Amino acid sequence: MKIASTITILSLVISGHLAKAQNNSKDTQKVKTVTSGTLDTSKGKMRRARGSFGNFVDKTQTPGYIPHETFDPTFMYEPGQPYRSGSGAPGPMYWQNRADYKIAATLDTNTKSIIGTVEITYTNNSPDELNYLWLQLDQNLFSTSSRGHFKTPIGGGRFGNVEFSGGDSISSVSIVKNGAKGPETTAITDYVITDTRMQIRLKTPMKAKGDKMTIKIAYSFKIPPDGSDRMGMTETQKGRIYEIAQWYPRMCVYDEVEGWNIEPYLGAAEFYLEYGDIDFSVTVPSDMIVAGSGELQNPTEVLTQTEIDRLNKAKASDAKVTIVGVDEIGKPSTHLKSNGNVTWHYKISNTRDASWACSTAFIWDAARINLPTGKKCMSMSFYPIECKDDSSWGRSTEYVKASIEFYSKTYYVFPWPCASNIAGNVHGMEYPGIVFCGWKSKMSQLFFVTTHEFGHNWFPMLVGSNERKYAWMDEGFNTFINIYSGQNFNKGEYNKAQTPDQLIGFAKRDSNVVMTYEDCMPQRDIGMLCYFKPGEALYLLREYVVGHDRFDYAFHSYINRWAFKHPTPKDFFRSMNEGTGEDLNWFWKEWIFKSWQLDQSVSEVKYSAGDTVNGTKGAEITIKNNKQMVMPVIIEVKESNGHTGRVTLPAEIWQALGVWKFHYNSTSTITSVTIDPDKVMPDADRSNNTWPATTN
């Protein structure tokens, strides 16, 4: 989901670090990696170190660094178990429950409300007998008696709503069973609603390992005008846009990690949901267009033949095709009935959620998406006349198409038949196959919010992590993949280089950590801790720690292992460790669990003994790690003869001490030594990153 300052932050992240600095000097020497040896930069050869410990400067530490705190052998030491392997893969006894939904809802435009029924077929695949079920009633957030309401600041807030009084009204709850004469419904009276959750207490427990139960709930709610920036209504020249989400009672997840996951919906933290199939019908006034998750099942009942023909043309076109144009908005020729209501029927399979939007004001265009498997799906956009220009939503379908094709080729094939982008007052929110983006966004701003929200169709819609507890596992992962989506789009049209300075400033002022419930974060920190910092961590891990090949192999393995399943943070860490062949626990600890800062420095340059002409026989360079975070070290050495060389040292040089010395085979006087010459690392104090020869 997009945060209040997401556009700014995503622009920094997605455009940041997109190209490593290149030195085009003919005398620039090839980068070499040094471990505990010395580097002959003139010949590109390694010499073995003199003595196993000959590179240690001394046995003291820098005051701000304790090696065993970072390289902690007890971190994440717990063994795997039959449900989740120590390798990070699902174990041989892994299970998850399933929830299938059949929903029928009606939009009442006079009362601005939804009236609906939902039938939930719940499958208990767990080894446990269930005496009760927990469901989520997300609309209760907008009740004036909700915890989220009381948590909203006096002046209001993005995730609360101080002036609107809403919430779910439950008319009936019943169990549906197949009887001799057809379905039989038995009312349930023993249920309790607590804030945004409902507990159904069963007279007959659900049996373990495959028992099924169908629950039918009749409900209604008033549509909040601004529903925590995840749903709402937008007034436009041609009519109101409805963006509808969190619109039906949903099952809580029951897993082997915590049992029932019953954290209340407070507004900031998002969702954790079971997978299943969703079949939904929405009844709206006949002059409205409805966009929904999945695929429209009854086009001949709601679309004109002209619209059907145009959609068929779009299915074969890489360029956008107009389905309903600017001059056609609201005209009788765009709908089959001149009055009354019509019902739009959608289905989406193997999904954790579904959403929809409708309006009389939509321009509608579409194009084909080409998937790497050879299959096709559709890119669609729905937006009002106010943002029709190519500087705004006129290019939305192009942005959607490019994003889905890139992510499908790079990570995992998009699994649903359509990807729809809806313009409205929701600044940015994701659902399977459909996203809501701000109708006033333009150009790069619209591209980045579009590619961000559709990136969420991979994390967490496809890889189903627990957003309520671990927002960084979808926002941070998504911010990371957005970097490369931005780099890829239209030959880098919106690509801009950037530095990690924002992260440096945050680390200096704030001690909050990534591994924190989003609801427990100050709102000003959500952008950094859920989005930027974990996204930056993955970027640096790929670019500077393990490299593209090993990172990509491990990341793909993680996605494939956990597609349509429920991974935990440890499953991710272990998958990456095993897939890359590295013990990266030091990295996960410092980036995700701690608020440590990085400060590396060049402290001394000494020419080799017997060197009568400084630099001709090489030099010993001393560097320090002054704070608790460690990272690999990139060092650039410049000489008076014009030669420039680079040395890359792995993070393991800091395993024992905070001071490290290495031999550099210079052939003339060294004029400067610089750590992190391209400023890609979040170094808190760059004033000590350079050694000038004049100070020696």
pLDDT at 696: 41
pLDDT digits (tens, 9 = 90+) for 146-159: 999 988 877 776 77
pLDDT at 323: 98
How crowded is the C-beta side of 497, counted as CA atoms within 13 Å? 6
Give yes or no on whether 31-65+597-695 and 98-464 have one common fold. yes
**CATH fold label, 31-65+597-695:** Immunoglobulin-like (2.60.40)
Calpha distance 31→93 (Å, rounded): 47
98-464: CATH, from 3.40.50.300, 3.60.70.12, 2.60.120.260, 2.60.40.1730:
2.60.40.1730
pLDDT at 181: 74
**350 residue type, one letter:** N
pLDDT at 613: 78
pLDDT beneath 50, residues of the chain: 4-54, 56-59, 693-696
Q: Which two tokens stand for residue 153?
A: 């600041």
**629 residue type, one letter:** M
pLDDT at 502: 79
pLDDT at 616: 87
Q: Which two tokens stand for residue 356?
A: 């929809």
Is the N-terminal amide bond of 299 cis, ω within 30° of 0? Answer: no
Calpha distance 354→280 (Å, rounded): 9
In degrees, rounded to 5, the angle at the alpha carbon of residue 467 between the alpha carbons of residues 461 and 473 is: 80
pLDDT at 223: 97
pLDDT digits (tens, 9 = 90+) for 506-557: 877 778 999 999 999 988 899 999 999 999 999 999 999 999 999 999 999 9
Task: List the end-to-end C-alpha distance of the chain, in Å, as a whole number.
Answer: 52
Q: What are the extents of the domains in the chain?
A: 31-65+597-695, 98-464
Asked if 483 and 14 count as a contact pair (C-beta separation under 8 A), the reply is yes
Quick check: helix, strand or coil at residue 635? strand
Q: What is the enclosing helix (H) or strand (E) of 556?
A: helix 548-562
Structure pTM?
A: 0.91
pLDDT at 3: 54
Quick check: helix, strand or coil at residue 374? coil
